[in-house]
Structure 1
Amino acid sequence: MKIIKYKESDIEEIVSLFYETIHSVNLKEYTQSELDAWAPRDEKKSKMKSWKESLRQNITYVAKINDKLVGFSDLTQNGHLDRLFVHKDYQGQGIATALVDILESEAKKLKLLEIDTEASITAKTFFEHRGYKVVCAQTVVRKGVKLNNFKMIKEI
């Protein structure tokens, strides 16, 4: 596995991975209607456009195995871990750990004191094992559908 900086040419694979992961891995903790609101397939093109810009502005890394994109994550300049997704066929292989390790290292270089994230029910345990603490449970509304997640913080 290689962890490398994001390039704009990765955007199509990133957005596809996001949709596939949400609609398969997160199916354990969220209903189909929640998943459809979280990752509506009809927004794929607009998401590629908006994410291309935000991923470029953030500190963004991708994980590749044999040139196949198998994960990605990004961190804002002020310490918000925005996205962390691993391909559905590559779960539990240390990819998320490797991505977050490098983002936490980048945060230290920026002299940030903490990282915050909004973790899905699915990702909560992963972040807890890494020392992130739940600040509060949250309910966000997407397309009129309520989704539960957790505001979490880690001091670094």
Structure 2
Amino acid sequence: MRIRVFQSADINQMVSLFYETVHAVNARDYTKEQLNAWAPKDEMDAKLINWKNSFVRNITYIAETNDEIVGFGDMTQNGYLDRLFVRKDFQGQGIATALMNRLESEARKIGLPQIETEANITAKPFFERRGYQVIEPQTVERKGITLVNFKMSKGLISE
């Protein structure tokens, strides 16, 4: 596996990876109705455009194996971790850890004091193991459906 910087040509694989991962991995913590509101099939085309623009603005890394994208993560210049997803059949192989190591390293390099994120129920234990603290649980609404997630943060110590 290698970690590299986002390229515009990656966007189709990334949107597909997001949709498939949410519907497979997060199914243990969210209902089908919630998954469909969070990652609706009918919004994939819009995501191709909107996400591509945000990935270009953000600090975005891709994890790939054999020229196939197996994970990605992105963070704003202000330290908001927007997305972190690993393909459903590559879970538990250290890919999210490698992506977060790179993102946290980059955040330290540009002098950010902390990283904040909104972690879903499934991802919360991963972030807690990395030293992220829950600020507060949140209820968010997508397409009229409520989902629980957790506002979390981690202070960064300069190295």
Q: TM-score, normalised by structure 2?
A: 0.98
SS for the counterpart of 1:122 is coil
Superposed CA deviations along residues 6-29 of structure 1, whole A, max 9, x for unmatched, are: 000000000000000000000000
Q: Matches of residues 66-85 of structure 1 in structure 2 within 5 Å?
A: 66-85=66-85
Distance in 2, matches of 1:134 and 1:44, equals: 30
1:40 aligns with 2:51: no
Q: Residue 109 of structure 1: CA displacement?
A: 0.8
Distance in 2, matches of 1:44 and 1:77, equals: 25
Q: Residue 32 of structure 1: CA displacement?
A: 0.1
Distance in 2, matches of 1:43 and 1:120, equals: 20
1:151 aligns with 2:145: no
1:128 aligns with 2:128: yes
Distance in 2, matches of 1:89 and 1:68, equals: 12
Q: TM-score, normalised by structure 1?
A: 1.00
Q: Residue 30 of structure 1: CA displacement?
A: 0.2
Q: Residue 82 of structure 1: CA displacement?
A: 0.4
Distance in 1, matches of 2:95 and 2:45, equals: 26
Q: Deviation above 3 Å: which 4+ runs of structure 1?
A: none
Distance in 2, matches of 1:22 and 1:88, equals: 8
Partner in structure 1 of residue 110 of structure 2: 110
Distance in 1, matches of 2:67 and 2:89, equals: 15
Structure 2 gap ranges (5+): none
Partner in structure 2 of residue 50 of structure 1: 50
Q: Residue 84 of structure 1: CA displacement?
A: 0.1
Partner in structure 2 of residue 25 of structure 1: 25
- The letter of the residue matching 1:131 is G
Q: Residue 142 of structure 1: CA displacement?
A: 0.3
Q: Residue 106 of structure 1: CA displacement?
A: 0.4
Structure 1 gap ranges (5+): none
Give the number of aligned pairs. 156
Q: Provide the aligned C-alpha RMSD in A.
A: 0.3
**Aligned residues with identical type, % of pairs:** 60
Superposed CA deviations along residues 35-89 of structure 1, whole A, max 9, x for unmatched, are: 0000000110001100000000000000000001000000100000000000000
Distance in 2, matches of 1:68 and 1:6, equals: 13
